[in-house]
Structure 1
């Protein structure tokens, strides 16, 4: 129940922290929150130019057009961006909030939830841009796109669990913060975000399939790009594993938090 307290007695606190993070990112900017929509659109233009026109990339099973390739690529990169943002921020999450550590009554595990919700907001904005472009280019949005939240929720649960683990270990092992970016980059290039798994040699394919981002990226493309139903069995197994990771992560966080104040 401590894991789900963010949806109960601590939901107002989690909302305030998330709002502060989101608004703080755009504070002082002329366009404010509009940048949450402008940024992914500009990012999509860069991907289209680099991978579509310069590198002439094409995705198996698509129409072969540059716009289709850009949308497919964008869907994968935004999913990775969500996880990478949380993973790279987690090592410094507790260290950068020492004021909360010294408050005995403050629920420190809420910080991971607020960090995840903030990244989830930007993932939502990216998906809005993706759906709008899908509508503009193809003239319609697949009905299966309504299942997008069902596909993303298991990844959110997994991200929270990993966030608890990494943020608690980051207090004691500061080197984690130095290698988190490298690991996040490796997860990008060893997933289906950029390279379709089918085009990877059999001997290396297992590495891509074991990447926790590959399955979710493929399922997002199924419901948003291809207009097909997700793999319900795979989602069920993924959710079970994600919940296990979340439980273990929360237990680890609670065991290690007793020493946060002494270390900081």
Structure 2
């Protein structure tokens, strides 16, 4: 078990280093990237488009609220986009019968999680600098992110398995990620939609985590308890399906690659 954990961490480190290899700032991009994203979205949506979550919300509050949701979208996009081709990238490892292939999708999630962790640290620092005091509920942030991570692991394993056999999975994933962004309350408040449409947005894997994260960070209303419970159950089912399918078909990866 500890050997596989070590392999997962090593591969995650390789994923991160390969992403920033050859760049001038190097690993500093892990901090620079979320900071630049916060600045750009603040300027575009806050100053140019004059977007607000509420009539009494200022530009900085809107930017922080927007950024908190974009971080989850970034994590989902990074993991699923990479998962579609990750087994092809590690073809030499796949052909080694003794190598535990399940650590490869896990390393993708771990690498993405590190980037988002840094992003949330940037967000918390920005909240303090912009005069938004941190409530004690921020301590619940890792807990409320847990079901999203479970869901993400399941989806990553599922996409990794399908992407090994079908190259066009990557193209489909990119289209689905665009839909997931615009059909979630990241760029707009959920209350701006008709009541009948809100329940459909709850089917998006981003909706409940985004609303829950904003509740613990900014004190906005939590989703309904029934929706939270349903999301936990669905995340667990997706994890079982994704990991189960991956373990079932991984014996054929070497023949495909």
Matches within 5 A, 1:30-69: 30-60=24-54, 63-69=56-62
TM-score of the aligned structures, taking structure 2 as reference length = 0.93
- Post-superposition Cα deviations, 1:119-178, rounded to whole Å, max 9, x if no partner, equal 000100110111001111125222111111101111111111111111111122211111
The Cα of 1:222 is off from its aligned counterpart by 0.8
Corresponding residue number in structure 1 for 2:11? 17
Task: Give the counterpart of 2:110 among 92, 101, 117.
Answer: 117
Task: Give the counterpart of 2:75 among 62, 82, 86.
Answer: 82
Corresponding residue number in structure 1 for 2:124? 131
Unmatched segments (≥5 aa) in structure 1: none
CA distance in 2, matches of 1:38, 1:90: 24
Corresponding residue number in structure 2 for 1:171? 164
CA distance in 1, matches of 2:200, 2:71: 21
Task: Give the counterpart of 2:21 among 27, 30, 46.
Answer: 27
| 8 Å Cα contact 2:211/2:222 also seen in 1 | no
Matches within 5 A, 1:218-237: 218-226=211-219, 234-237=227-230
Unmatched segments (≥5 aa) in structure 2: none
Corresponding residue number in structure 1 for 2:146? 153
CA distance in 1, matches of 2:222, 2:137: 6
CA distance in 2, matches of 1:230, 1:34: 36
Change (3 A) 1:227 1:183: closer
Shifted more, 26-35 versus 109-118: the winner is 26-35
Give the secondary-structure state (helix, strand or coil) at the position aligned to 1:58.
coil
CA distance in 2, matches of 1:63, 1:9: 53
Paired residues, number: 257
Change (3 A) 1:190 1:139: closer
Task: Give the counterpart of 1:106 among 99, 109, 113.
Answer: 99
Corresponding residue number in structure 2 for 1:95? 88
TM-score of the aligned structures, taking structure 1 as reference length = 0.91
CA distance in 1, matches of 2:136, 2:223: 12
Give the secondary-structure state (helix, strand or coil) at the position aligned to 2:201.
helix
Give the secondary-structure state (helix, strand or coil) at the position aligned to 1:210.
coil
Shifted more, 215-224 versus 231-240: the winner is 231-240
| 8 Å Cα contact 1:40/1:129 also seen in 2 | yes
Change (3 A) 1:85 1:27: same
- Post-superposition Cα deviations, 1:202-228, rounded to whole Å, max 9, x if no partner, equal 443333121111000011111112278
